[in-house]
């Protein structure tokens, strides 16, 4: 696409409180995933691969790590002369006091001045905590071809799942005729993925109106999309098929990691035409010791494995001692499992130490055990 | 900011069968994800030497792409620079292709450096060295030149194209080819510290004496006129001078005792990232005592081997004591022992290639067999 | 210096209200200077040239332009693997609500978590709105040699000027024995430049104590330095000689620009060993037309001069029409002076248009005229 | 993302007296702060062609340093790449040094591109061109190859080493050297759009027919078997084929009518910054109709000239119709007319060097006179 024809804004302010101790110190988009990535690498790499030059990352809660990470725009090649990743927490202005972002739409409203600097025709609004690969340039082409005011990416879910999502009711031309937030009795199974392309001029006008509306929660799903629909604007659904995951809970984060053990997983991180970029820690390749027993596993560089690893994902800097057993588990970055310890159906948080001969988790547990303190 | 600039010489005098037909030794991949040149560049960067000249003898493409502007080596592009310097024209008779000739060709670039000292390091040797400490040590000693050497006890093996230092205490009495029948020798690490002015004069002197003199030749010839001192290097050291030493250096570094000595937390070895995903291991796999890069699919058996990025080891394949390079495919039931497999090679299902450890085999770039 | 031995934090939150309309839209550190620079280029380039890898820029008021500018760490070469410029506005944390920086020291206190990530031995605290060249590595070497808890850069001023500065009273070994903020009767002429090197561990402990002190204004000059002195810590003065300017008013900003017309000005922006780095707008060289009359002038690339320019500084993108006269003036970026207009003793703000035959400013005016609206 | 990759040829067949002894034409400085190669690279970057191969015939140092990793050309280093490709070895007999030979040497790199189309542009010509539009136009036309040409009315001057197209409507009937005595000619801009597959087959065919065939030779030979179409380029166009045309292209672009046509707001020409400060003008100066780069000290008289970065024009010096390159020093009272002064040259006080406009003079790199 042309330079700055479409600007991307990533909503990365979520507290992710259902991830418990994993998000005590880092915002959810900075949580580690897939051996070497952080969740926000996915929307950022998608932007880079879709030819988008300028990305704003809207942070809010506990953003120091997320902020300094996203600021390294070179990780995604977004550091050329006219491109950049800009971290945008709430800020004080001449005409308003310092205030938190009151909702997803307010986060954009508070950064209208930033967006105006680039004078884009289209605005892409993304969430910072979903795992998926998507070509936003194709979505923009669809938006243009449909001559829509807004295009919303949707994916088919089951009727049961549909009760947990914003659901789009469309006609045969993918035109959105109605929208329901978490309906008890869904009229459609097309769930919004929280990915929007807007005509910037139209959205801008609407945001300025919404800003002072006391009845508004300043949210895209609750306020802006309904306002567009009620205003008679053309909204279309862009159908996505492929891997998409909101890793909102420990179970779903574990599951998303386990998905990678299937060689034919839909996400396919090994696709040379659509790489996910991340920080490279410059360590050695994975060291697999003389007595190691490796089964199905997903292991990244900078690890040392001297024990058994089966059906598990081992992140950068993790170590598995001699005679230790890692079964159906996820070892996040820097985890050290000492000799003889056994870890089963557990997700061990960053830099945790599992001591010699400790037994953690169990094969029969229904839920995945989160270990966030040394054991 | 160090008071020295760094020179990395091309090591064009070393000959590694096979690999070197496609790139210079500095551009050889090493331990799966590095290239040999990453070691001297990281040594300079970690020593706060941010102005670095890399001399290239031939086939510059892969080296130019790998080094780029040096950001991944932590060199501030505004205050420092990694400069790649090319020979004028490679001479048909190889004896003429000396480092002195390459320096003379690029003398204007050397003069622009405006640093009091120069540190010279080879592109073909794997070791960690704090050159800032060596520089301070050199300045304090009052010597004209400081050379670095490593004491070995297996001099008969693997140092054939290296030089050795003849020492009297720490005074250098002679530099000569490693042809001795002794086991103990002081292998010259082709590393020099001296004032930049002295380098100029040695370059001029060498050219005046002989068109085929290299820097070590002229230093040797001038030993009687100068105070040349040697400092012993401790720690992991591996010169890449033959296919056998290349394979050995890789396999020696599987052992954490060796790799912990070379890769220290406060002395990172930088390289360029390729954004490969983690490696996928299968239920059928058996991996022992190996280093495995990212992006691989490992279904077969791997022992005592180093596996490069994106390699595929199929079910039933057996790889022992090998260096498998990036994007190689090892077919089902294939057996490889003591092999260096160059990049993008395909070993068909069932193919067996076994060599003795003393004379490892080389499988060519993009070859299919 | 060793990687991250010393981290730099630039205080860039000032409203700069005495710069009037120049700082309506941009924070003072982002104000243009010297034809092609912004003020913050000076501390950032000094950091790069001093071998500092990691710089935090503490922004507050109207920081969108400053923030996106400082985030382009590559402009100062600070985008290598382990270096970066990080923009740090106030942010919400797990244990505290979103709040503005209450003072210079509080700005550091609110970012202790950021600093701790890098585990530096020393912290360099700088101001984002001073124009000068300085080797902070030499200051650090002095700090270490003196074995001080804090080192403060000072410069000699006149007794009259001393009443406007924080003044350091030192003994013969440059040890600071007392400190006076804007004294009516100065006991010394060594003015603090607002440049501090601290032992991070000591400062950190002090900041945590200061945070909850209700009597503190959370300011380095008012609170932290006196607390260190009272605590018996060794504070030393590091003497600076050379060009240093706080461009707090329109007159001083104009004057600082005019200083560049003297070939032998002390600042010497043409020094190849200590370049000041800035954004390169990739325009053509300066076009000097067939009828131009150029006298003493400082003109950057991307300008078009077809009239007369005498004793003036012309910034990127500025244009001077045929028969126009620019005398003793500063044309900020993008200013267009139409044919026949006359500009005398004026500072024309960014992107202002001066219309055909307009007359702006006068040779007799005592103060410099700021033109911030099209005339 | 465009469906094409870009190739910039070395233009080794053009000969510019003087300047070319030190660097290839692509590396010539231009308009004070650019290099000639900035134009084809910016054209590609602005056309969303982010995979670019730059072929170099000789003396690669300055080109490698200038291009770097291409960040300053707005190429996302993760999605795109500027790759510099070197010849195997320059042949003593220049007729062998064709672009076909260079393509063949690097054929593995061309094959890695995996793009349906290739756009080929020369490194020696100054013009703006939207190759994305040309690509779409080409695909719609159904032709095998689209060539770009520029209609000139002064063909007798300055196009000596260019080729011309013999056209029948927009069909190309022949490509031949510009030797005619006509004023009007269709100068071939050495720009091609074709499918990558076709380029492969032309490379193979050329090598089979003659070792000295270049790409234009084989296209010309195959005209009868292919549908080759020409598109006319409008706007500023200047091939750098001689010292005179180099000087003329620089001086023509002082005129805002020409520069506004080449440098458009939506078509930036990117280059590497050098962080020079603004230029200082003195009370004694007189500057008319000139382009002045940053970092200069201008005390003397400058007319109809282009002044490079960091040049010093002393009091009383007179510079007319000249290209003064970076870091030149023009002494007090020196007089230069119709000169191209190469970098780092010093013209001593009072020296006068005057040439006629038709045969401008060249003053050597680092020369003192």
The domain that contains B235 carries what CATH number?
3.90.550.10
**D128/D175 same-domain check:** yes
What local confidence, expressed as pLDDT, does residue C17 receive?
64
* CB count in 10 Å sphere of residue B39: 27
Report the relative pairing of strands B335-337 and B352-354 from DSSP bridges.
parallel
A198 sits in which H/E element: strand A190-199
Inter-chain contact B73–C277, Cβ cutoff 8 Å?
A: no
Residue D127 CB contacts under 8 Å (≥ 6 apart), including other chains: D39, D43, D150, D189, D233, D235, D236, D237, D238, D262
Which one, of A98, A17, A9, A15, lies nearest residue A58 by Cα? A9
**D298/D209 same-domain check:** no
Interface test with C, best of B68, B78, B267, B269 (most C CBs within 10 A): B78
C342's tokens: 């006359």
**Contact yes or no for A70/A40 (Cβ under 8 A):** yes
**Contact yes or no for A337/A331 (Cβ under 8 A):** yes
Distance CA A260, CA A274 (A): 16
| Cα dist from D129 to A61, A258, D155, whole Å | 47, 50, 21
Inter-chain contact A301–B256, Cβ cutoff 8 Å?
A: no
Distance CA A35, CA B244 (A): 34
Q: Does B311 touch chain A (CB under 8 A)?
A: no
Q: Is B137 exposed, middle or buried (0-12, 13-18, 19+ CB in 10 A)?
A: middle
**D226/D299 same-domain check:** no
D369 located within any domain: no
C276 CB neighbours in chain B (<8 A) are none
B272 located within any domain: no
Question: Residue ranges per domain, chain C?
Answer: 6-260, 281-375
Distance CA A137, CA C209 (A): 52
How many beta-carbon pairs under 8 angstroms link A with C? 91
Taking only residues 31 to 60 of chain D, the set having a beta carbon closer than 8 angstroms to any beta carbon of chain A reads 48
Inter-chain contact A71–C67, Cβ cutoff 8 Å?
A: no
Report the mean per-residue pLDDT for chain B. Answer: 93
Distance CA C86, CA A64 (A): 10
Which residue ranges in chain A fall short of pLDDT 50?
none
User: What is the nearest CA distance from B324 to chain C, expressed in angstroms?
Assistant: 28
Partners for B (CB, 8 Å, 3+ pairs)? Answer: A, C, D
Tell which of B201, B228, B262 closes a domain.
Answer: B262
> What pairs with residue C236 in β-bridges?
C151, C175
Distance CA C116, CA C111 (A): 9
Q: Does C258 touch chain D (CB under 8 A)?
A: no
**Rounded (5°) CA angle B27-B28-B34:** 90
**Contact yes or no for A346/A329 (Cβ under 8 A):** yes
Domain C6-260 superfamily per CATH: Spore Coat Polysaccharide Biosynthesis Protein SpsA; Chain A (3.90.550.10)
**B256/B286 same-domain check:** no
Same fold, A6-260 and A281-375: no
In order, the DSSP letters of C229-280 are HHTT--EEEEE--S-EEE--SHHHHHHHHHGGGSTT-TT-TT-TTSPPP---
**Rounded (5°) CA angle C186-C189-C191:** 100
Which one, of A164, A140, A114, lies nearest residue A47 by Cα? A140
What is the CATH T-level fold of the domain A281-375, as seen in this structure?
Answer: UDP N-Acetylglucosamine Acyltransferase; domain 1 (2.160.10)
In three-state secondary structure terms, B273 is: coil
Interface test with A, best of B280, B285, B309, B326 (most A CBs within 10 A): B280
Number of domains in chain D: 2
**B145/B8 same-domain check:** yes
Which one, of B54, B53, B46, lies nearest residue B2 by Cα? B46
What local confidence, expressed as pLDDT, does residue B155 receive?
82
Q: HEC string of A269-304?
A: CCCCCCCCCCCCCCCCCEEECCCCEECCEEECCCCE
B270 located within any domain: no
- Over range B300-316, report the average pLDDT: 98
Inter-chain contact D78–A76, Cβ cutoff 8 Å?
A: yes
* CB count in 10 Å sphere of residue D74: 21
In order, the DSSP letters of A203-255 are HHHHHHHHHT-TT----IIIIIHHHHHHTT--EEEEE--S-EEE--SHHHHHH
C-beta pairs of A350-353 under 8 Å, 24+ apart in sequence: A350/A22, A350/A32
Return phi, psi of residue D24, to 5°.
Answer: -75, 165
pTM of the model: 0.94
Summarised one tens digit per residue, pLDDT across range A116-159 is 999 999 999 999 989 999 999 999 999 999 999 999 999 999 98
**D158/D218 same-domain check:** yes
Residue A144 CB contacts under 8 Å (≥ 6 apart), including other chains: none
Residue B361 CB contacts under 8 Å (≥ 6 apart), including other chains: B338, B339, B340, B353, B355
Report the mean per-residue pLDDT for chain C. Answer: 92
Distance CA A65, CA A87 (A): 11
**Rounded (5°) CA angle D20-D365-D322:** 85
How many beta-carbon pairs under 8 angstroms link A with D? 41
Distance CA A21, CA A2 (A): 42
D64 CB neighbours in chain B (<8 A) are 64, 84
Residue B89 has pLDDT above 90, yes or no: no
**B226/B310 same-domain check:** no
Q: Does A79 touch chain D (CB under 8 A)?
A: yes
D185 located within any domain: yes
C84 sits in which H/E element: strand C84-87
> What pairs with residue C2 in β-bridges?
none
- Over range B52-78, report the average pLDDT: 90
C-beta pairs of D263-268 under 8 Å, 24+ apart in sequence: D263/C283, D263/C284, D264/D128, D267/D42, D267/D46, D267/D128, D267/D130, D268/C282, D268/D42, D268/D46
What separation, in Å, do the N-terminal and C-terminal C-alpha atoms of chain B show? 52
Distance CA B242, CA B264 (A): 26
Distance CA A234, CA A151 (A): 9
Residue B189 has pLDDT above 70, yes or no: yes
Which one, of B319, B358, B322, B316, lies nearest residue B338 by Cα? B322
User: What is the nearest CA distance from C92 to chain A, expressed in angstroms?
Assistant: 5
What local confidence, expressed as pLDDT, does residue D90 receive?
57
Q: Is A271 exposed, middle or buried (0-12, 13-18, 19+ CB in 10 A)?
A: exposed
Summarised one tens digit per residue, pLDDT across range B17-46 is 888 888 889 999 999 999 999 999 999 999
Which residue ranges in chain C fall short of pLDDT 70?
1-3, 14-18, 20, 62, 92-98
Quick one: pLDDT band at residue B154, thresholds 50, 70, 90?
confident
**B288/B258 same-domain check:** no
CA dihedral defined by D93, D95, D98, D100, rounded to 10 degrees?
-100
Tell which of D262, D292, D323 closes a domain.
Answer: D262
**B220/B154 same-domain check:** yes
Please give the residue range of the domain that contains residue B135. Answer: 4-262
In order, the DSSP letters of A90-127 are --BBTTB------SHHHHHHTTHHHHHHH--SEEEEEE
Place of tokens 């092609």: C36
D20's tokens: 């070319």
D273 located within any domain: no
Distance CA C267, CA D239 (A): 43
C102's tokens: 């209450």
**B71/B197 same-domain check:** yes
Instruction: Give the CATH number, domain containing residue D300.
Output: 2.160.10.10
Can you say whether the dihedral through the CA atoms of A82, A87, A92, A95 is positive or negative? positive
D85 CB neighbours in chain B (<8 A) are 61
Summarised one tens digit per residue, pLDDT across range D318-351 is 999 999 999 999 999 999 999 999 999 999 999 9
**Contact yes or no for D221/D209 (Cβ under 8 A):** yes
B60 located within any domain: yes
> pLDDT tens digits for chain D (369 residues)?
579 999 999 988 888 888 888 888 999 999 999 999 999 999 999 999 999 999 998 888 999 999 988 889 999 888 899 999 988 665 556 677 788 988 998 999 999 888 999 999 999 999 999 999 999 999 999 999 999 999 999 887 778 789 999 999 999 999 998 886 788 999 999 999 999 999 999 999 998 998 889 999 999 999 999 999 999 999 999 999 999 999 999 999 999 999 999 999 899 999 998 899 999 999 999 999 999 999 999 999 999 999 999 999 999 999 999 999 999 999 999 999 999 999 999 999 999 999 999 999 999 999 999
User: What is the nearest CA distance from B154 to chain C, expressed in angstroms?
Assistant: 37
Place of tokens 């703006």: D128
**B288/B222 same-domain check:** no
């Amino acid at each position: 696409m042309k330079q700055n024809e479409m600007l991307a804004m990533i909503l990365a302010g979520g507290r992710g409180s259902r991830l418990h101790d994993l998000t005590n110190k880092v915002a959810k988009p900075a949580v580690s995933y897939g051996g070497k990535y952080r969740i926000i690498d996915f929307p950022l790499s998608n932007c880079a691969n879709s030819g988008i030059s300028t990305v704003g990352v809207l942070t809010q809660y506990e953003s120091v790590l997320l902020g300094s990470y996203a600021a390294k725009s070179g990780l995604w090649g977004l550091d050329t002369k006219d491109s950049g990743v800009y971290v945008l927490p709430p800020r004080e202005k001449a005409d308003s006091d310092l205030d938190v972002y009151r909702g997803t739409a307010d986060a954009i409203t508070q950064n209208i001045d930033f967006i105006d600097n680039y004078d884009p025709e289209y605005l892409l609004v993304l969430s910072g905590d979903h795992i998926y690969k998507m070509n936003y340039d194709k979505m923009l082409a669809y938006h243009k071809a449909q001559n829509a005011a807004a295009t919303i990416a949707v994916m088919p879910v089951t009727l049961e799942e549909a009760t947990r999502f914003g659901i789009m009711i469309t006609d045969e031309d993918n035109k959105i005729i109605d929208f329901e937030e978490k309906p008890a009795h869904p009229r459609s199974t097309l769930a919004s993925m929280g990915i929007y392309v807007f005509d910037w001029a139209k959205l801008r006008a609407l945001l300025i109106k919404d800003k002072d509306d006391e009845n508004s929660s300043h949210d895209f799903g609750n306020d802006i999309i309904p306002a567009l629909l009620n205003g008679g604007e053309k909204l279309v659904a862009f159908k996505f098929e492929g891997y998409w995951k909101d890793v909102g809970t420990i179970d779903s984060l574990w599951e998303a990691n386990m998905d990678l053990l299937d060689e034919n997983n839909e996400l396919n991180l090994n696709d040379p035409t659509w790489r996910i970029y991340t920080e490279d820690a410059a360590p050695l390749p994975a060291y697999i010791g003389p007595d190691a027993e490796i089964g199905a596993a997903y292991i990244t560089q900078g690890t040392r494995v001297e024990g058994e690893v089966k059906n598990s994902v081992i992140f950068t800097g993790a170590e598995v001692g001699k005679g230790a057993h890692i079964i159906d588990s996820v070892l996040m970055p820097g985890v050290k499992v000492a000799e003889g310890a056994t870890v089963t159906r557990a997700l061990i948080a960053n830099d945790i130490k599992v001591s010699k001969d400790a037994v953690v988790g169990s094969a029969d547990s229904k839920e995945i055990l989160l270990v966030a303190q040394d054991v | 900011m160090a008071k020295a600039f760094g020179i990395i010489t091309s090591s064009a005098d070393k000959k590694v069968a096979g690999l070197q037909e496609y790139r210079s030794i500095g551009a050889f991949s090493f331990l799966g994800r590095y290239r040999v040149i990453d070691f001297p560049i990281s040594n300079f960067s970690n020593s706060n030497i941010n102005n670095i000249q890399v001399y290239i003898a031939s086939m510059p493409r892969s080296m130019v792409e790998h080094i780029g502007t040096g950001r991944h080596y932590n060199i501030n592009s505004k205050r420092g620079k990694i400069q790649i310097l090319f020979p004028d024209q490679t001479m048909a008779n190889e004896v003429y292709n000396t480092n002195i000739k390459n320096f003379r060709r690029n003398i204007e670039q050397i003069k622009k450096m405006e640093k009091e000292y120069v540190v010279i390091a080879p592109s073909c040797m794997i070791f960690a060295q704090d050159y800032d400490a060596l520089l301070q040590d050199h300045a304090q000693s009052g010597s004209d030149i400081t050379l670095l050497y490593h004491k070995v006890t297996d001099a008969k093996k693997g140092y054939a194209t290296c030089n050795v230092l003849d020492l009297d205490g720490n005074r250098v009495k002679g530099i000569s080819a490693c042809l001795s029948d002794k086991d103990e020798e002081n292998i010259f690490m082709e590393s020099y510290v001296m004032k930049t002015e002295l380098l100029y004069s040695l370059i001029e002197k060498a050219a005046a004496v002989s068109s085929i003199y290299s820097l070590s030749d002229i230093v040797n010839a001038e030993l009687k006129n100068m105070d040349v001192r040697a400092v012993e290097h401790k720690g992991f050291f591996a010169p890449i001078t033959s296919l056998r030493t290349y394979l050995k250096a890789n396999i020696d570094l599987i052992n954490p005792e060796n790799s912990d000595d070379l890769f220290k937390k406060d002395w990172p070895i930088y390289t360029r990232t390729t954004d490969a995903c983690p490696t996928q291991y299968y239920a059928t796999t058996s991996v022992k005592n190996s280093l495995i890069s990212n992006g691989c699919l490992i279904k077969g058996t791997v022992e005592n081997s180093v596996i490069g990025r994106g390699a595929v080891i199929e079910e039933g394949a057996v790889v022992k004591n090998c260096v498998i390079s990036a994007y190689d495919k090892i077919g089902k039931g294939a057996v490889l022992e003591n092999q260096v497999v160059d990049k993008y090679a395909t070993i068909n299902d069932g193919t067996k290639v076994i060599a003795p450890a003393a004379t490892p085999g080389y499988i060519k770039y993009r070859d299919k067999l």
